[in-house]
């Protein structure tokens, strides 16, 4: 049986992968590594893991994702997002492993107003996006086999995310103001996990970058409105411009990702974000998870 190592196994995508893998018949053995046992900055420890498991695939979900904090904690963001990715890329090359690396819509500046393609120019406007872009570049330089998957607005029943923040606020707030001029696509981590498992189960390999988010377009205001509508929560929402909700880091105003290349190359069906939101809320309702 071939081995798969999941770095960042204690994050929301890691937990989503664990759930998908648990419901899937597989010829692969998945090993989920948290930040301690799977430290992407400890090269000696990483080398031992590669020697022990001889993995066919590495899935790198490990990332510094605190977008605002990254503006001040620059070294830590680049260490994990760039150096960590480089370390895994080099080891994958040396051990003939395929690296599936999770990247972000934040590698773009948000100026374009039509769906962003993989070959569009990158131009991050913050430390987080730049650190993730440098990670992508390091992986390509390593010459390992890889799939870089850029995603956006990730949420799930696990961890901390916008969906769970809205549900928590609705417990005590009757009205909320939500930014309406940042546009992208909410992406259910369970769906992204399904695609990752699809790549592995079908022994896919290559050296390429793909965009994966759910289908459809929404602002954060649209996302919040749909959350409350589906969850049947009585919360009054006010749409506000970004300038009324200042943050340390700038966000792309438009980050809708084109999935045309992924659909063409893999003939893969991607759910609409509204359908996936209903699925996620049903999962939370039927089996509340505090992780």
Catalytic residue IDs: 128
Gap between the Cα atoms of 36 and 75, Å rounded: 19
The whole-angstrom separation of Cα 20 and Cα 22 is 5
User: Rounded to an integer, what distance in angstroms lies between the CA atom of residue 258 and that of residue 80?
Assistant: 27
Residue partners of 147: CB distance under 8 A and separation at least 6: 98, 99, 100, 101, 199, 204, 206, 208, 209, 210
| Residue 111: alpha-carbon gap to chain centroid | 21
Contact 280, 188 (CB under 8 A): yes
Find, among 9, 64, 61, the residue nearest to 31 by Cα: 9
Length of the chain: 291
| Phi, psi dihedrals of residue 237, rounded to the nearest 5° | -110, 135
Q: What Rg value do the Cα atoms of the chain yield, rounded?
A: 19
DSSP state for residue 249 in the 8-state scheme: S
Q: CB under 8 Å to 289, separation ≥6 — which residues?
A: 157, 158
DSSP-based helix, strand, coil % in the chain, nearest 5: 40, 20, 40
Task: Please state, in angstroms and rounded to a whole number, the distance separating the CA atoms of residues 161 and 15.
Answer: 13
């Amino acid at each position: 049986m071939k081995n798969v190592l999941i770095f960042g196994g204690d994050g929301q995508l890691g937990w989503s992968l664990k759930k998908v893998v648990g419901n899937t018949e597989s010829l692969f053995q998945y090993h989920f590594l948290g930040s301690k046992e799977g430290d992407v900055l400890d090269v000696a420890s990483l080398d031992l893991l590669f020697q022990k498991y001889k993995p066919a695939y590495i899935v790198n979900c490990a990332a510094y994702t605190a977008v605002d904090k990254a503006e001040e904690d620059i070294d830590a963001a680049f260490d994990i997002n760039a150096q960590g990715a480089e370390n895994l890329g080099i080891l994958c090359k040396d051990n003939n492993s395929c690296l599936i690396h999770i990247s972000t819509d934040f590698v773009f500046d948000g100026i374009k107003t039509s769906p962003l393609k993989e070959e569009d120019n990158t131009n991050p406007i913050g430390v987080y996006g730049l650190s993730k872009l440098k990670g992508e570049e390091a992986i390509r330089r390593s010459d390992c086999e890889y799939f870089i998957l850029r995603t956006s607005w990730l949420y799930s029943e696990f961890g901390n995310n916008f969906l769970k923040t809205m549900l928590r606020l609705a417990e005590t707030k009757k009205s909320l103001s939500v930014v309406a001029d940042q546009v992208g696509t909410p992406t259910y981590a369970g769906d992204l996990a399904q695609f990752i498992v699809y790549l592995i189960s079908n022994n896919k390999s290559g050296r390429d970058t793909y965009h994966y988010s759910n289908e459809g377009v929404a602002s954060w205001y649209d996302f919040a409105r749909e959350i409350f509508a589906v969850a049947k929560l009585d919360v009054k929402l006010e749409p506000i411009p970004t300038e009324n909700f200042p943050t340390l880091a700038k966000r792309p105003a438009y980050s809708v990702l084109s999935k045309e290349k992924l659909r063409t190359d893999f003939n893969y069906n991607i759910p609409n974000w509204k359908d996936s939101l209903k699925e996620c809320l049903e999962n939370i309702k039927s089996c509340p998870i505090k992780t």
